[in-house]
Chains A and B, each alone.
Chain A
Amino acid sequence: MFKKAVRILAASALIFGALAGVAFAKQKVIIESWRTDDLKLWKDVIIPAFNKHYPDIEVVFAPTAPAEYNAVLDSKLQAGTAGDLMACRPFGKSLELFKKGYLAPLNGLPGLENYSDFAKSAWTTDDGKTTYCVPMASVIHGFLYNKDLFAKYGFQPPKTWEEFIDLLAQMKKKAPAISPLVMGTKDQWEAATMGWHNIAPNYYGGEAGRKAFLAGKEGFHTDGFLKGFEVLAQWAPYLPRGYKAVSYSDSQQLFTQGRGFIYPAGSWDIGVFHQMNPKLNMGAFKSPPPAGASKCYISDHPDIALGLNPASKNKEAAKKFLEWLTTKEFAELYGNALPGFFPLHNYNITIKDPVANQFLSWRQQCEGTFRMTYYKLSDQKPDAETDLWTASVNILNGNQSPEEAAKWIECRLSSWYQPHKHFHQELNCK
């Protein structure tokens, strides 16, 4: 009796599955991505919302681990087995794919006008004419702090860099058991990403400084860029005990367990911290500009977009999905489901998470700029981004002075980056 029921169930499931396969075969859209953390969110929230409008398109979100994504996607594209849509890394990597013909140009896609040029710049050709990915989200850098600990010791979030360093010194004095600034240098990337990229724009002057750098008027060893390394060096005494061996997940734990005051953050940490310790009372302050500065700058980095595989068999369905990405509905859905990933659309959307909202509000107060080493400067070996990791870690670990590190990284960059060739001679690089 029971066996029979199972058999009938299995048979009907098979038939139903086959039918469903036939019905949707022409309308299946597969998305490649590195956001394995978001699998559940796509399945439960984003895809059902899309299917309300387009019930006959089946969307499958098929992510690969972040560290392997680039390599896996490359081999899938070469073999012709990649999905219809793929998450685009910003700048160089996606441009390379576009140039090889693995990303379709999206000019004329309805809805693309809902983004500013700044938002599109990470996925647009150098001449500004062709956009090949639909921007999804950016991440903003700043600092998170433990509100309860601040209240307990009567501290206020700092407004200027000088106040910031002063505050760190006070913390060390008043509460020696709690780390003033929670960051380690073991995994290396935090020192550059949460450190240098977070605080340096205030010293080199955001986009204007970045453009002067690209043109060869400034180098890592000049003015604000050097100053960025110098201010980073001031952090060293306030990092946790044994910070040279503290990894990224170690510092996340330290901060969420209330063992540290301030955490140099990327906005994506907000959602993670809510999960790690829902009771943690967090506040945020932006990267503090030097005293007397008239303008402030924040790192607002376009991080993820979605592009179309020219070899896709379901281009029309895939394009419908891309169009839907440009709507306000998607922007609100995505921004709220993933606090800390900020949609790049021009709409005025409400983000419910108060901390994420605070990060977002800085866009109104300060000028945004992206992580400067991502554009052009990392196209060849030795790439400026990885070198920046090494330089920032060396400065914080006390192995190199800011001047030495700046000279080292500039010499490496000017060995291949044409507009900086003159620095190679000026600095007597070997």
Chain B
Amino acid sequence: MRRKPFPWHITVFLAPAALIYTVFMIYPMIASLDFSLYQTVEGGKQVFVGLGNYIRLLTDPLWSHSFWNAFRNNVVFFLIHMTLQNPIGLLLAALLATNIRGAWVYRTIIFTPTILSVVLIGFAWKLILSPTWGIWFPLLDKLGLGNNEIAIALLGNEKSALITLALISVWQNIGIPMMLFLAALIRIPTELIEAAQVDGASGWRIFWRIQFPLIIPTVGIVAILTFIGNFNAFDLIYATQGALAGPNFSTDIMGTFFFRTFFGFQLRPGDPNMGATVAGMMLLIILTGVIIYLYGWQRRMEEVQF
């Protein structure tokens, strides 16, 4: 009996991707984690401190206050995306899947903000909401809200700034879940829907009994993509509120907290070791989410795939 020869061609095909991924993703990640275990002392020397930086980040009030504040804000940021972006994205996809007239026009328009640069989005919304010349104000005056403390300074009030930014982000990114849902909906065999129609099922019933159960795997993927994207978010906050994520750190999320810690700010020099520690915590948070998804959701999903 001859043994099967080692499948060399698989190695050859995998090598480029594995190499690039190792050099540009895995190595930097491990290097960054390693970096977070050191602290710089007088004279610029690096000293190994074990998990000291993590303990400091979570227990020293000067650090833990900022950390938990950023974490809380990030959770709020994520929840707003989950409750608005994804359901609305699904709704839009469901409407577009019904072959309404001019569907491609709507699809293009709704998807456009997604491909624009975040800096541009931040700048445009800053102008729209600017109390100096924003086009938001004539509208407010008409509604009789011209003197409402919060409405005239949406990005300047602690209560409204984070929600406003989350809504801007939802507006920008809604195209992505919409496209993913749409692709999944289109993939459903038409016989299933036609059979239901013949049986006299309403559109509502068809959606909830046939279409939705069949796109549940996509719902999971969209949720985990939103989670990863939101806990890595940085650019929109930085572009509109600056590195201090004002007012009074009410829009500070993990990304901006990391940026300030790592690169420093104004007179404050950066602390790369603590920055790497914050990055390590971000990795841990995202990893936890992904593991919950993989074991709690995707494993079960495989059983209902058709």
Q: Take A188-B244, A399-B248, A430-B61 as given contacts and tell me if A245 and B268 are in contact as well, using a CB distance cutoff of 8 Å.
A: no
CA gap between A274 and B200 in the complex, in Å: 75
Within 2-56 of B, Cβ neighbours of A (below 8 Å) are at 44
Shortest A238–chain B CB gap in Å is 15
For B123-142 the 0/1 string (1 means CB < 8 A from A) is 00010011111000000000
B residues within 8 A CB of A70?
264, 269
A415 at the interface (CB under 8 A from B): yes
Residues B248 and A386 in contact, CB atoms below 8 Å apart: no
Q: Look across to chain B and name the residue whose beta carbon is closest to the beta carbon of A93.
A: B267
A residues within 8 A CB of B133?
253
Shortest A31–chain B CB gap in Å is 23
B242 at the interface (CB under 8 A from A): yes
B residues within 8 A CB of A187?
242
A125 at the interface (CB under 8 A from B): no
- With beta carbons under 8 angstroms apart, the residue of A100, A240, A241, A253 that contacts B44 is A100
B217 at the interface (CB under 8 A from A): no
B residues within 8 A CB of A247?
126, 130
Q: Take A187-B242, A250-B132 as given contacts and tell me if A393 and B247 are in contact as well, using a CB distance cutoff of 8 Å.
A: yes
A residues within 8 A CB of B287?
none
For B242-281 the 0/1 string (1 means CB < 8 A from A) is 1010111100000000000001111111110000000000
Residues B62 and A382 in contact, CB atoms below 8 Å apart: yes
B residues within 8 A CB of A389?
244
Residues A243 and B267 in contact, CB atoms below 8 Å apart: no
Q: What's the interface size class on B, roughly?
A: 20 to 34
Q: Take A185-B247, A188-B244 as given contacts and tell me if A253 and B266 are in contact as well, using a CB distance cutoff of 8 Å.
A: no
Residues A245 and B153 in contact, CB atoms below 8 Å apart: yes
A390 at the interface (CB under 8 A from B): yes
A374 at the interface (CB under 8 A from B): yes
A residues within 8 A CB of B242?
187-188
Q: Take A185-B156, A186-B155 as given contacts and tell me if A240 and B267 are in contact as well, using a CB distance cutoff of 8 Å.
A: no
* Total A residues in contact with B, Cβ cutoff 8 Å: 40
For B229-250 the 0/1 string (1 means CB < 8 A from A) is 0000000000001101011110
- With beta carbons under 8 angstroms apart, the residue of B131, B154, B268, B269 that contacts A246 is B131
Shortest A250–chain B CB gap in Å is 4
For A129-167 the 0/1 string (1 means CB < 8 A from B) is 000000000000000000000000000000000000000
Residues A186 and B156 in contact, CB atoms below 8 Å apart: yes
Q: Look across to chain A and name the residue whose beta carbon is closest to the beta carbon of B158.
A: A399
B152 at the interface (CB under 8 A from A): yes
CA gap between A254 and B131 in the complex, in Å: 11
CA gap between A415 and B61 in the complex, in Å: 11
B157 at the interface (CB under 8 A from A): yes
Q: Look across to chain B and name the residue whose beta carbon is closest to the beta carbon of A380.
A: B268
CA gap between A185 and B216 in the complex, in Å: 46
CA gap between A412 and B62 in the complex, in Å: 8
Shortest A378–chain B CB gap in Å is 4
CA gap between A373 and B268 in the complex, in Å: 12
CA gap between A253 and B132 in the complex, in Å: 9
CA gap between A399 and B250 in the complex, in Å: 12
CA gap between A93 and B266 in the complex, in Å: 10
Residues A394 and B248 in contact, CB atoms below 8 Å apart: yes
B residues within 8 A CB of A250?
130-132
Q: Look across to chain A and name the residue whose beta carbon is closest to the beta carbon of B241.
A: A186
Residues A378 and B268 in contact, CB atoms below 8 Å apart: yes
For A289-308 the 0/1 string (1 means CB < 8 A from B) is 00000000000000000000
Residues B246 and A245 in contact, CB atoms below 8 Å apart: no
B residues within 8 A CB of A381?
62, 268, 271
Residues A386 and B268 in contact, CB atoms below 8 Å apart: yes
Q: Look across to chain A and name the residue whose beta carbon is closest to the beta carbon of B44.
A: A100
CA gap between A146 and B267 in the complex, in Å: 33
For A226-258 the 0/1 string (1 means CB < 8 A from B) is 000000000000001111111100100110000
Within 354-409 of A, Cβ neighbours of B (below 8 Å) are at 373-374, 378, 381-383, 385-386, 389-390, 393-394, 397, 399
Q: Which one of B155, B156, B158 has the greatest number of beta carbons of chain A within 10 Å?
A: B156
Residues A385 and B267 in contact, CB atoms below 8 Å apart: yes
CA gap between A382 and B247 in the complex, in Å: 18
CA gap between A276 and B292 in the complex, in Å: 56
Residues A254 and B157 in contact, CB atoms below 8 Å apart: no
A residues within 8 A CB of B129?
245
A96 at the interface (CB under 8 A from B): yes
Other A-B pairs beyond A412-B62, A430-B61, 5, CB < 8 Å: A186-B247, A242-B152, A247-B130, A250-B132, A253-B133
The 5 tightest CB contacts between A and B, nearest first, are A242-B131, A244-B156, A245-B156, A245-B153, A242-B152
